């Protein structure tokens, strides 16, 4: 699976949009971009994933550049509960997704009151 | 709805003692199951995954082993714990087919301290 690069930490004011960047310049055509987050002392939580089109769900939006070499996760109205480590993962889906996830160090997002 | 359970939540064990961590999933059948470990200050590392009863794939060689005696039960074991086995152990599941197979769902984790 392709490697990803994320800033180690970011701050965002409560109520503002949090934009978390991720570089994945070696992504292959059959690899998806996934985002998970991990709140302190809990298991990771799936947020969103996409292939090449922008995606939106009740938690966040995912913007993938046209060349697919980078993406941005957007939390539209950040709250204090969004403070967590956010992981960008590039993953090839194979055999129904039986392969595991490769987590990097992620971005520690701190929402400031 | 589906639920994943792990126990115990915390565990303190001496070096050289055995280990058994259990994970069960409810509300789904034939899930893919995973064990991850997160050492202090480090990212999550995939240890084992299973696509069915008795089918275990190991990602990292170590003194840990995994077993899947039932469809929705996944067990992580060790015969003799090392200090380096300390960490946060997470079990996860995913559907084995369809769009839901794209997501993994994690349990609450077991925090293991080896002394």
Give the DSSP letter string of chain A. Answer: ----B--SEEEEETTSPEEEEEE-TT--TTEEEEEEEE-TTS--EEEEEESSS-EE-SS-EEEE-TTSSEEEEEETT--GGG-EEEEEEEEE--TTTTS-------EEEEEE-
> Which residues contact residue A56 at a Cβ distance below 8 angstroms, ignoring those fewer than 6 apart?
A48, A62
Summarised one tens digit per residue, pLDDT across range A35-52 is: 999 998 899 999 999 999
Report which of B18, B20, B40 is spatially closest to residue B91, judged by C-alpha positions: B20
Residue A94 predicted with pLDDT over 90: no
Residue whose token pair is 């915390």: B10
Mean pLDDT of A82-94: 88
Q: B19: pLDDT confidence band, cut at 50, 70 and 90?
A: very high
Give residue-wise pLDDT tens across range B80-111. 999 999 999 999 999 877 665 678 899 999 99
Q: How far apart (Å, rounded) are the C-alpha atoms in residues B74 and B91?
A: 8
A96 vs B45, B97, B108: nearest CB: B97
Q: Do A101 and B46 touch (CB under 8 A)?
A: yes
Could you tell me which residues of chain B have a Cβ less than 8 Å from any Cβ in chain A? 32, 34, 36, 43-46, 49, 51, 59, 88, 90, 92, 94-98, 101-109, 111
Spatial separation of the C-alpha atoms in residues A102 and A39, rounded to whole Å: 18
pLDDT (average), residues B1-5? 89
| Average pLDDT of span A22-34 | 92
Contact state of B102 with A32 under an 8 Å Cβ cutoff: yes
Q: How far is A113 from chain B (nearest CA, A)?
A: 26
Provide the 3-class DSSP secondary structure of residue B80: coil
Residue in A83, A88, A66, A80 with CA at minimum distance from that of residue A20: A88
pLDDT(B12) > 50: yes
Contacts of residue A98 in chain B, CB cutoff 8 Å? 32, 49, 51, 94, 96, 101
Question: Tokens 């993953």 map to which residue?
Answer: A91
Share of chain B above pLDDT 90, in %: 71
- In the predicted model, what is the mean pLDDT of chain B? 91
Instruction: Select the residue of A32, A42, A46 nearest B104 (Cβ to Cβ).
Output: A46
Question: Mutate which of A86, A96, A105, A107 to disrupt the B interface (most B C-beta within 10 Å)?
Answer: A96
Res. A1: pLDDT tops 80: no
Kindly list the residues from chain A whose CB atom is less than 8 angstroms away from the CB atom of residue B95. 96-97
Alpha carbons B43 and A88: distance in angstroms, whole number = 12
CA distances from B44 to A38, A70, A103, B2, B38 (A): 10, 22, 6, 23, 5
Tell if the CB–CB gap between B46 and A100 is shorter than 8 Å.
yes
Q: How confident is the model at residue A95 (pLDDT cuts 50, 70, 90)?
A: very low
Q: Does residue A113 have a pLDDT over 90? A: yes
């Amino acid at each position: 699976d392709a490697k990803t690069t994320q800033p180690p930490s970011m701050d965002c004011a409560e109520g503002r949009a949090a934009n978390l960047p991720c570089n994945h310049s070696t992504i292959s055509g059959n690899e998806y971009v996934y985002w998970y987050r991990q709140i302190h002392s809990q298991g990771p939580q799936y947020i969103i994933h996409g292939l090449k089109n922008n995606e939106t769900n009740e938690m966040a939006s995912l913007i993938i550049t046209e060349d697919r070499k980078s993406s941005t996760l957007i939390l539209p109205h950040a709250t204090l509960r969004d403070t967590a480590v956010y992981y960008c993962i590039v993953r090839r889906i194979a055999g129904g997704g039986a392969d595991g996830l490769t987590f990097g160090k992620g971005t520690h997002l701190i929402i400031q009151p | 709805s589906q639920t994943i359970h792990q126990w115990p939540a915390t565990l303190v064990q001496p070096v050289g003692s055995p280990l058994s961590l259990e994970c069960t999933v409810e509300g789904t059948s034939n899930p893919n199951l995973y064990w991850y470990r997160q050492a202090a200050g480090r990212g999550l590392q995939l240890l084992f995954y299973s696509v069915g009863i008795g089918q275990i794939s190991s990602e990292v060689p170590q003194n840990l082993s995994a077993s899947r005696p039932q469809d929705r039960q996944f067990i992580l074991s060790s015969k003799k714990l090392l200090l380096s086995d300390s960490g946060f152990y997470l079990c996860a599941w995913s559907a084995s087919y369809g769009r839901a197979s794209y997501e993994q769902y994690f349990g609450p984790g077991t925090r293991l301290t080896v002394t």
